[in-house]
């Protein structure tokens, strides 16, 4: 999968921030597996065709077409494997709104496409971290083993992403954290600008004490 991850931002005509978040892609496991399966079939078919062509030479009935077919199948197999690692990922997005909403317009891979928001507001977000979801066995090469989760101050956990490589999951967690920090900073500046300012009191001189004369 060709992983992509970038910030998203929406502002009104006055420049006020309406929403900020991150858009990324997650692996299409079935599509990648199907392409790799086709590539494997083409590879072994090419080897079989080349072997048949060589055997025809041994029996003095040469058929070079088998060798040509085998080479063509091998070439297609390598192309299929190359395309298998470049299947476009499934689009995901998570955005934070000043009203407290955490919105996912494309749904969650962890909760289904019908779920497009979290129940808890972003004001309760304590941290956003990468997590390992799958643990490869033996010498198996880890691929899409990680995801991203949100911890809330009340102890709740929301798993918002999956099917990511380790470095990609960490990148997504950092970018989501940065987006939330940006929103909180802007909300704080807006609240400070709207807060009524107290009128400054004039400086008053300290009352003078009467002088006492001791006889």
Percent of the chain exceeding pLDDT 90 equals 45
Percent of the chain exceeding pLDDT 70 equals 86
141 within domain boundaries: yes
Number of domains in the chain: 2
Do both 72 and 132 map to the same domain?
no
Residues 141-162 have a mean pLDDT of 92
213 pLDDT above the threshold of 60: no
39 within domain boundaries: yes
The answer to which of 62-71, 181-190, 197-206 has the lowest mean pLDDT is 197-206
172 within domain boundaries: yes
pLDDT reported for residue 96:
97
pLDDT reported for residue 56:
76
- Identify which of 1, 6, 2 has the alpha carbon closest to the alpha carbon of residue 172: 6
pLDDT reported for residue 48:
81
Do both 170 and 107 map to the same domain?
yes
Residue 96 near residue 21, CB atoms below 8 Å: yes
Q: Give residue 127's pLDDT band: very low, low, confident or very high (50, 70, 90).
A: very high
Do both 139 and 46 map to the same domain?
no
Do both 47 and 121 map to the same domain?
no
Do both 136 and 113 map to the same domain?
yes
Residues 92-107 have a mean pLDDT of 95
Do both 173 and 114 map to the same domain?
yes
Structure tokens that stand for 186 in this block: 């802007």
Do both 23 and 97 map to the same domain?
yes
Do both 112 and 151 map to the same domain?
yes
Residues 13-23 have a mean pLDDT of 93
pLDDT reported for residue 36:
67
pLDDT reported for residue 212:
40
196 within domain boundaries: no
> Which of 53, 68, 84 lies at the terminal end of a domain, its last residue?
84
Q: Give residue 182's pLDDT band: very low, low, confident or very high (50, 70, 90).
A: very high
> Which of 59, 84, 109 lies at the terminal end of a domain, its last residue?
84
Do both 13 and 36 map to the same domain?
no
CA–CA dist 49, 96 (Å, integer): 57
Residue 67 near residue 46, CB atoms below 8 Å: no
| CATH code of 186's domain | 2.30.29
CA–CA dist 24, 172 (Å, integer): 8
Contacts with 37 (C-beta within 8 Å, 6 or more apart), sequence order: none
Structure tokens that stand for 148 in this block: 């991203």
Domain limits for position 169: 5-27+91-191
- Identify which of 57, 159, 70, 62 has the alpha carbon closest to the alpha carbon of residue 118: 159
- The secondary structure of residue 207, as a DSSP letter, is P
pLDDT reported for residue 166:
93
pLDDT reported for residue 207:
53
Do both 115 and 165 map to the same domain?
yes
- The secondary structure of residue 59, as a DSSP letter, is T
State the sign of the Cα–Cα–Cα–Cα dihedral 138, 139, 141, 146: positive
């Amino acid at each position: 999968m060709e992983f992509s991850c970038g910030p998203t931002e929406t502002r009104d005509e006055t420049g006020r921030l309406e929403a900020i978040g991150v858009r990324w892609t997650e692996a299409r496991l079935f599509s990648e597996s199907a392409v790799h399966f086709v590539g494997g079939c083409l590879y072994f078919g090419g080897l079989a065709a080349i072997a048949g062509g060589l055997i025809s030479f041994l029996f003095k009935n040469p058929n070079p077409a088998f060798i040509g077919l085998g080479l063509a199948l091998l070439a297609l197999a390598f192309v299929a494997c190359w395309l298998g690692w470049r299947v476009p990922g499934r689009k995901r997005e998570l955005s934070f709104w000043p009203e407290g909403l955490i919105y996912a317009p494309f749904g969650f891979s962890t909760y289904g496409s019908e779920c497009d928001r979290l129940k808890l507001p972003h004001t309760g977000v304590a941290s956003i971290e990468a997590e390992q979801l799958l643990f490869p066995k033996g010498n198996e090469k880890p691929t899409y083993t990680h995801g991203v989760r949100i911890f809330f101050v009340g102890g709740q956990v929301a798993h918002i992403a999956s099917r990511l490589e380790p470095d990609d999951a960490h990148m997504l967690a950092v970018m989501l954290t940065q987006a939330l920090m940006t929103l909180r900073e802007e909300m704080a500046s807006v609240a400070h600008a709207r807060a009524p300012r107290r009128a400054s009191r004039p400086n008053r001189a300290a009352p003078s004490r009467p002088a006492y004369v001791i006889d």
